[in-house]
Amino acid sequence: MSITAAMVKDLRERTGVGMMDCKKALAECDGDEEKAIAWLREKGLSKAAKKAGRATSEGLVTVIVAADGKSAAMSELKCETDFVSKNEEFTALAEGLATLALEKKTDKVEDLPAEASDLTGLIGKIGENMQVGRLAYVAFSGEGAIGTYVHSTKKLGVLVELSGQVSPEVAKDVAMQIAAANPLCVSPDQIPAETLAQEKEIYLNQAKEEGKPAQIAEKIVEGRIRKFYQEVCLREQLFIKDDKKTIKDLLGKNAEIVRFFRFAIGA
C-alpha cells in the first residue's frame, strides 16, 4: 500500500512521533493507523510524546569549523540531565547538527533535513526529553578570521566573525572575551533605542534622588551611559587579559567585528 504524506502527518499528530518513524510504522502495518500506533508503542517510540513537555535545562554546545577556516557553525542540543549530555549518541547527534548547519550554511533548524532534527528515536531509547535549540553560522571571504570558544563543560560556546587584518590569536581572544563578559552587542549604535532610553531614565532618576542639580544630573547621566557602553558593547569592553586596553584597542584600526553568537545552556 502507498503511504501518503497526509497519512504520515495524521499519525504524527496523534502520537507525537517523528515523521520517519511514523512512515516506517505505517509501512510495517500496511497503512493501518491503529496498528501503526500499537507498533510504535511496542517499539517504545510513542513514549517520546509523553516526555515532550519536560524541561530541558542541560545539553551541549558544539562548534564545527570548516577545513579552510573561513566558515563555522555552532549547535545547541538540549536534554534534561547532565548525565545524558555525556551520552555518546547524544554527543554524536550534537556534532552532526553543527556539521549539517555548516554544510547547509544556515542558522535555521528548518533548513536541516527532517531526520536530522527528529529526536524521537533517541528520546525513546534514552528516556529523556530532548530539543534542538539554536544554530549559528558565520563565514567570511577576503581578509578576516573566525574566533571560536567552547568551555570545557561544553555548556557555553561562542562564534565570532571578524573582517580585515586580524590574526587567529586575536580572534580567539575576542571569542573568549564574549564568553566571559557576555556583551549585548558589538558597538553602541546597535543598542536598541528603548533599552538606551530606559537606562538614561534610570540614571537620571538616580541623580535626582541624590539631590543633584539638573545640569549636574545630565553630566552624571552621560558618564554613566559611557560606563554602560563599556559593560554591554563588545568593542568598548575592557580586555579580560589586559584591563589597560579595550577590545577596540586590541583590534586596532584595520579589523572589525562583524557579528557574534554566544550560546549558554539554560540561558
Does a structural domain hold residue 260?
no
State the SS3 of 228-265. HHHHHEHHHCEECCEEEEEHHHHHCCCEEEEEEEEEEC
Largest CA distance in the chain: 83
pLDDT tens digits, 212-253? 888 888 888 889 999 999 999 999 999 999 999 999 999 999
Give a yes or no: residue 115 inside a domain: yes
CA distance 57 to 79: 6
Report the distance separating Cα 91 and Cα 33, nearest Å. 34
The CATH code of the domain that includes 214 is 1.10.286.20
Question: Are 71 and 35 members of one domain?
Answer: no
**Model pLDDT for residues 114-139, shown as the tens digit of each residue:** 777 777 778 778 878 888 899 999 99
Tell me if 209 is assigned to some domain.
Answer: yes
pLDDT digits (tens, 9 = 90+) for 86-116: 989 999 999 999 999 999 999 998 888 877 7
Owning domain of residue 92: 55-139
pLDDT for the residue numbered 205? 86
DSSP 29-59: TTT-HHHHHHHHHHTTTTHHHHHTTS---EE
Does any domain span residue 202?
A: yes
- What are the residue ranges of helices labelled H in the chain? 5-15, 19-28, 33-42, 47-51, 82-85, 88-104, 120-126, 168-181, 193-209, 214-232, 247-251
Q: Is residue 164 part of a domain?
A: no
The three cell numbers locating residue 46:
510513542
pLDDT tier at 210, thresholds 50, 70, 90:
confident
Percent of the chain past pLDDT 70, that is, above it, reads 94
pTM: 0.76
CA atoms of 139 and 56, how far apart (whole Å): 30
What total of structural domains would you count in the chain?
3
The predicted structure's pLDDT at residue 216: 87
Residue 38 sits in the same domain as residue 9: yes
Identify whether 41 is part of a domain. yes
Q: Which CATH number covers residue 17? A: 1.10.8.10
SS3 214: helix
Per-residue pLDDT reduced to its tens digit, 54-90 = 667 899 999 999 999 999 999 999 998 888 889 899 9
Q: Which range, of 10-14, 157-161, 162-166, 206-210, averages the lowest pLDDT?
A: 10-14
